[in-house]
A and B are shown apart, each in its own frame.
Chain A
Amino acid sequence: MREINIYTSFFIMIIALAICIGSLKLSIYTPRGPGPGFMSFGTGGILFLLSFHLFLKSLFSRTEGGAKDAYPKNIKTTSLILSALMFYALFLEKLGFILDSFLVFSFLFAISRTMKWYASIACSLSLALGSYVLFSVFLGIGLPRGMLNFFR
């Protein structure tokens, strides 16, 4: 864990500095009490002290090992899922809920490779339609219709 702690605490130290610098642009203290930058400057400072503490502590600690878990094991799956989610977010309003969900879910089922292609397509179609009915019709949430706007 030592190695990991050194890396992460160093990274957090940089973030903390960035927060402090960013808050300097806002006024930190005004005659009438704390200004808009007060809280972020304070937390930035605390964050820096804490991460510096952790940094030093791990630098001088001698315990090794246990770091194996900390490295990603299956980057391919992870990044595929994340990009599917990004796609979902970006195209939700253009394609509409049903189409977008359908596309993303057939993709997710495809990478999980549990079903035949027609089964996974049927499954994601029914999922997309089913959740649309649940959220939009039953709970009355106005999900985007996108291209399918012409029907009600």
Chain B
Amino acid sequence: MCGITGIFHFDGDGNISLELLQKMTNILNHRGPDESGIYLDDLIGMGHARLSIVDLAGGTQPIHNEDETLWIIYNGEVFNYPELKEYLLEKGHKFYTTTDTEVILHLFEEQGFSCLEQLNGQFAIAIWDSAKQELFLARDRVGIRPLFYAKNNGSLLFASEIKSIFISDKVKRQLNYEALNHIFHFWTTLPGETVFQDVYELPPGHYLKISRNHFAITQYWDIPFYPTEEKLDWPAERICEQIHELLTDAIRMRLRADVPVGCYLSGGLDSSGVTTLVVNKFNSNARTFGIRFEEDGFDEGEHQKLMVSFLKTSHTELLATNERIGSSLADVLWHCEKPLLRTAPIPLFLLSEIVNKNNFKVVLTGEGADEVFGGYNIFREAKVRNFWAKQPDSKSRGLLVRRLYPYIFKNPRLRAMQQNFFATGLDQADDSLFSHDLRWQNTSKIRIFFSNEVQSAITIQADYEKMKQSLPATFSSWDYLEKAQYLEMTIFLSNYLLSSQGDRVAMAHSLEIRLPYLDYRLIDFMARIPSQWKIRGLKEKYILKKTFKGILPEQITNRQKHPYRAPIGKSLLNNKSIHVTQDMLSNQSLKKSGLFDAAKVNKLIQKLKTHDSQSEIDNMALVGILSTQIVHEQFIENFPSKPIALITPNLVIDRRLKNV
């Protein structure tokens, strides 16, 4: 696990400064504090910050092939590298390390771009073919590891994090109002874009090939879909056996490391399932880590404790108090590099710090199960609303929404009115975006706070059309769950869950997360399982729960889903954090950024302070506005806010003509 960065000069003027490259690498030091390496020639400079996990002593990057024409820097892990290495040894390849990095390089040499199909892992790769003078960048299938790029003034810059690109003065630091608008509507930026102008993200499952006169992005993998005739008509027991086998193998591979591997354990079904398989099959002394909240509505302590005593793991809890959540927002945004509408990333940032202090560099997590097995409320909501839309006047159909969100319908007096909220747009059930549109429309209310300048620069209708056009050709024939899963995985999984609640907040403290549920073999298998096994009636993740029956305690498999969330108002407006919040949202600060209407923001703050508002929208607006202000301050106004310590690289390959 590491950070990568680089500059490619289309005109090859040989003028890449070692010091610039060092700075670009060193600002990623949190991703790779163990060592660093640099490659330089007249066309390209590449930097690598290393978190050593495999071949601790010998894996210094950049790594080269036999004749030193190919050079790789790489962030991530390819878990099936021992198997791939056997094949390459048979082909006659020579290795000088025992790393997965070197395996990827030789496999690329052997198979070119199609090597990506062989890789089971989470990665962002940069390979420089110095003979052909071609650069190859690639990202894993679902986008667990980040990779950004900017093309400007005859150069292409790329990096694991945007801050590294911003070290170069070739990219003007500006917010992209369209992307900001997307966050205030879809909860995140859309695939390929970032919240900064002219800085892009290589989308998951894509690779990029660049040479002096060539620049092309190609998709090599998409979320799989199988039509009815290709689906598996298996009995439930057989499906469960296969899930158990695939998940166990996904875990087995993800325990491969030359350092100890821990587990995140929340007390929910997904992480409990992974941890139990680890303990039962691979490591009875597993080390676990979990988040606790001081507020009951958020805390899962009871179930977490139950799992700890069930598995007898050595467990460490992180208490995410409201004060700590509030005071860590700015640090989290430095890592997430995009505005947020939630505070949920913050406890995960605090958790990785504890894990790091306990000298763990790798943990397995339960992320991805909700996407693959149908766990989210929005999937159940789509099912109910589709059913309701067929008879919109039916009273009993409408009543079903109350079962989805008991926490919304907790006041019996308001139920009839609240139920009607979910009837909005029922006449649009045939629309491709039906499953998510109610949520998006509801969220987009917070765009009311944008300043006139931002308002006049944005549209949303065009994005809907663009999004619809990007959907697979057969999409309209998919069932409600397949559609909703696809939208969730395309828009939200990589851009929010795996980044702001995943890679970025873990790597902030040099921690690599590994996600067995997102093994592509499991994703592919579950795409061949009919939806009726995923959501049965209104029971979410039915088949996964059935798989874990007899393995996990019943209190866990029978548990109603507890969405992972963190407090907002009480975190950002408590006595300790209110000063920062008010300072960032003062008339002066709002005027300086020019992004929001100060009068409206003042009204929002007053409302939240006096009413302790329960409104989801008001809370989202608060986080959205505050985090945008902080991102603006950190990345536009005052970048970098701290000096970057220059670290002498452990390895420098300098092939610039003037130095040869």
Query: Do chains A and B stick together as partners?
Result: no
Q: A residues engaging B (CB < 8 A)?
A: none
Q: B residues engaging A (CB < 8 A)?
A: none
